[in-house]
Amino acid sequence: MTDVTQLTVPVQRWIARRRRHDVERHLGPGAGSTPSDVRIRGRRSHDLAAAARLLGLVVAEGQYPLPRPESRRAWLTGPGIQDAWIAERDGELLGHIALSRVGLDAVSAMRWREVTGRATADLAGVSRFFVRSRVRGQGIGTSLLQAAVTEARARGLVPVAEMMSASRDGIRLYEKQGWRLAAMYPCGPRSASLEAYMYVLAAPKTR
């Protein structure tokens, strides 16, 4: 497979755009069981304000993300965020997901290497994942997750995700989609009795 990091930046951007287009075409409007008027597409810079507003509503629910981000916009854009998708209907942003590099600090990199037996460069972290509360349970989260997984696999990377034990809905969805809990560790203040869960999605079985 071509090592895209060896290509010039404009060519890398062109490849990323093509892949996003392929993911959108592959999912199409109303992929899976998503309502047919909901569209999943790559996030554009003009989506950021709406995504940050929706994130504000999710933060107010109190379970995700933990710890609360100081700047919602900064949390949505980096560090390490490589790609992001949104779900929208009639111009209203309904959900968001991103792919990011994992192991940005030494401890996290060591954990991921130990848990997966792979270099962190071979992994793609699914993160920044949330759906507007009034449209949950309609398959929008599943479609966003499919978009991120499709892209990770197209890049030859293994999808992984780290989530807090408080994210009950997220954990249920990942497990339904075949993700495997590979490790967990306590995090945050002891009084909060929070754990971080490390999930890995194995490659689909080939016949």
Ligand X SMILES: CC(C)(COP(=O)(O)OP(=O)(O)OC[C@H]1O[C@@H](n2cnc3c(N)ncnc32)[C@H](O)[C@@H]1OP(=O)(O)O)[C@@H](O)C(=O)NCCC(=O)NCCS
Sites of contact with ligand X (CB under 6 A): 33, 58, 63-64, 129-131, 136-142, 163, 167, 169-170, 172-173, 176
Min CB(130)–ligand X separation in Å? 4
Looking at beta carbons only, is 135 or 157 nearer to ligand X?
135
Distance, CA of 91 to CA of 77 (rounded, Å):
21
Min CB(113)–ligand X separation in Å? 22
Min CB(9)–ligand X separation in Å? 32
CA distances from 166 to 65, 67, 142 (A): 9, 11, 19
Looking at beta carbons only, is 120 or 165 nearer to ligand X?
165
Looking at beta carbons only, is 11 or 181 nearer to ligand X?
181
Min CB(163)–ligand X separation in Å? 4
Looking at beta carbons only, is 12 or 193 nearer to ligand X?
193
Min CB(144)–ligand X separation in Å? 7
Looking at beta carbons only, is 176 or 180 nearer to ligand X?
176
Min CB(137)–ligand X separation in Å? 4
* Angular region, 143: left φ>0, alpha ψ -120 to 50, beta rest: alpha
Helix (H, G, I), strand (E, B) or coil at 97: strand
List, in sequence order, the alpha helices (H) in 99-163. 106-116, 140-154
Long-range contacts of 74-82 (CB under 8 A, 24+ apart): 75/128, 76/48, 76/51, 76/52, 76/128, 77/48, 79/104, 80/104, 80/125, 81/127, 81/128, 82/124
Looking at beta carbons only, is 28 or 156 nearer to ligand X?
28
Cis check for the bond before 79: say yes or no (omega within 30 of 0): yes
Strands 81-89, 92-100: pairing is antiparallel
